[in-house]
């Protein structure tokens, strides 16, 4: 547990409850529930669902315990505030107990861990105390099913994990993918102590088929999984974060493992010496059938409070393209920032461009686009208001052609720019209405007292601003007391946790 650094006026707490989605689910899970396209379909109706972390939401009188809200996908706009589930550590069947500043909802992702045909929600609570160990962190699985999410289990740390250490922040980053060819998804977990990898399938007690400590590089800011060499097995990328000799953050890769019940663990991973990053995501930007890795480095020298060598002013992203050989150690990344020609905005110290990022095809042209958050960018005189930038994929790779920037002053975007909203602290691209075009989702976790997310439908021309919606934390049942709830601080796509 930790004390929050931001205080606000006292607000009346809402009681977080689990609501059954008002939707007709199939008797059996949707046939694609185990594919990447609908990996976050928790109720098996064929629509992807949207998990939103609110890590400082109150639980009754318990300050900052945290919660996760799942907005169930559907036709039309994709999600609705009325079709939801609110998950906390006080929800029936969920392990643990709400405690002050546990930060349940620091990170969220999904996979069908028990192979029953329904995606399961995976939640990191990076600041949870475990016994006498402060800020040890935890990971919880909430099981999907025909009526939505119900019941859960804790994912145990590997034997020997973090011995003699506290403040580990286990669960601050999460990734899932099929890495060993047995049809069961694997789970990778980052922390400030060391990383861990779990081989599926999982039992309903949360026990994996195999568990491995990944302690080659100590703490891990980001973890990314995806197939970058086209062999059908995901590669696993570890991003330890800033270190004394590399503040921009090293990038390591394990090839997909070779057999059932194995994980990438037996040999030291390969370092990509020209690559940097604190968080990352994978998607096929150039449509060649190989996943491409995008990483973000959002902290620049103006923010470091110490030595130089962080990101360029304002932050940056890097792109490494996959191939039949994967991403090789001699590959030089392509770098983008807000001084790159065609990228909207201007690079300024402390903008945090690259703090969050997501890959998805917003216009169904067959190329993954990249959405990048810069939550600390000023809009006019309003500091820390935040912005997001959409860069388009193409046959030649990521391009600034038709690039677009969005703030809450953009015509058609609900709300208004205010100082400190941090619009873009989390971003996500996912097809929530099953029309083949990814919706654009942007978190503004410090808007008002609770935080909000903006959702815009995808179309052949990109995000549809007219009719887009703002969903805020109180309207979907999170509690707020003396600190902001931070609804929208975490989405299924990565954000930087240093």
Structure token pair of residue 410: 């953009």
Q: Maximum CA pair distance of the chain?
A: 59
Phi (first) and psi of residue 474, to 5 degrees: -65, -35
**What was the pLDDT predicted at 164?**
76
Structure token pair of residue 241: 């974060």
Q: Is the peptide bond before 201 cis (omega within 30 degrees of 0)?
A: yes
* Torsion (CA) 282, 342, 352, 299 in degrees, nearest 10: 80
**What was the pLDDT predicted at 20?**
35
Instruction: Tell me the C-alpha distance between 364 and 436, whole Å.
Output: 6
**What was the pLDDT predicted at 81?**
85
Per-10-residue mean pLDDT, the chain, length 498: 33 32 42 54 92 97 97 87 94 96 97 91 95 89 95 94 87 92 90 92 94 82 94 92 91 76 67 96 97 97 85 96 96 98 97 98 97 97 98 98 97 95 98 95 97 97 95 96 97 93
Q: Is the pTM of this model over 0.85?
A: yes
Contact 43, 33 (CB under 8 A): no
**What was the pLDDT predicted at 16?**
34
Compute the residue count for the chain: 498
Strands 138-142 and 120-125 come out as: antiparallel
**What was the pLDDT predicted at 286?**
98
**What was the pLDDT predicted at 76?**
81
**What was the pLDDT predicted at 8?**
30
Gyration radius of the chain over CA positions: 20
């Amino acid at each position: 547990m930790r004390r929050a650094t931001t205080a606000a006026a006292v607000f009346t707490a809402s009681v977080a409850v689990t609501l059954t989605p008002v939707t007709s689910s199939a008797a059996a899970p949707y046939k694609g529930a185990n594919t990447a396209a609908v990996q976050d379909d928790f109720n098996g109706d064929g629509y992807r669902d949207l998990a939103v972390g609110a890590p400082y939401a109150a639980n009754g009188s318990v300050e900052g315990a945290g919660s996760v809200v799942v907005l169930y996908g559907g036709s039309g706009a994709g999600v609705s505030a009325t079709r939801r589930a609110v998950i906390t550590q006080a929800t029936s069947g969920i392990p643990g107990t709400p405690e002050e500043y546990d930060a349940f909802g620091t990170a969220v992702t999904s996979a069908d861990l028990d192979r029953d045909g329904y995606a399961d929600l995976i939640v990191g609570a990076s600041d949870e105390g475990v016994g006498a160990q402060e800020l040890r962190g935890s990971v919880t699985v909430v099981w999907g099913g025909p009526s939505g999410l119900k019941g859960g289990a804790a994912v145990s740390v590997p034997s020997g994990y973090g011995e003699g250490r506290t403040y580990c922040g286990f669960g601050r980053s999460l990734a899932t993918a099929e890495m060993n060819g047995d049809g069961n998804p694997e789970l990778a977990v980052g922390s400030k102590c060391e990383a861990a990898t779990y081989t599926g399938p999982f039992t309903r007690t949360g026990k994996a088929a195999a568990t491995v400590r990944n302690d080659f590089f100590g703490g891990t800011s980001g973890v990314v999984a995806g197939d970058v060499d086209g062999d059908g097995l995901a590669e696993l990328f570890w991003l330890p974060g800033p270190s004394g000799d590399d503040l921009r953050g090293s990038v390591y890769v394990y090839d997909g493992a070779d057999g059932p019940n194995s994980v990438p663990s037996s040999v030291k991973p390969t370092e990509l010496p020209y690559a940097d990053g604190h968080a990352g995501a994978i998607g096929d930007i150039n449509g060649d059938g190989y996943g491409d890795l995008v990483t973000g480095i959002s902290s620049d020298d103006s923010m470091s409070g110490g030595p130089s060598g962080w990101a360029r002013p304002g932050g940056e992203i890097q792109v490494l393209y996959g191939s039949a050989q994967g991403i090789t150690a001699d590959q030089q990344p392509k770098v983008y920032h807000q001084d790159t020609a065609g990228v909207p905005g201007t690079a300024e110290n402390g903008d945090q461009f690259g703090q969050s990022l997501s890959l998805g095809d917003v216009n169904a042209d067959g190329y993954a686009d990249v959405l990048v958050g810069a939550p600390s960018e000023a809009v006019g005189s309003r500091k820390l208001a935040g912005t997001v930038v959409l860069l388009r994929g193409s046959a030649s790779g990521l391009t600034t052609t038709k690039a677009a920037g969005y703030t809450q002053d953009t015509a058609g975007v609900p709300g208004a720019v205010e100082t400190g909203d941090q619009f873009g602290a989390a971003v996500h691209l996912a097809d929530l209405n099953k029309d083949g075009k990814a919706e654009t989702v942007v978190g503004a976790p410090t808007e008002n007292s609770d935080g909000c997310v903006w959702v815009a439908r995808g179309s052949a021309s990109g995000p549809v601003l007219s009719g887009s919606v703002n969903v805020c934390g109180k309207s979907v049942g999170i509690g707020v007391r003396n600190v902001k709830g931070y609804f929208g601080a975490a989405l299924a796509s990565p954000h930087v946790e240093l």
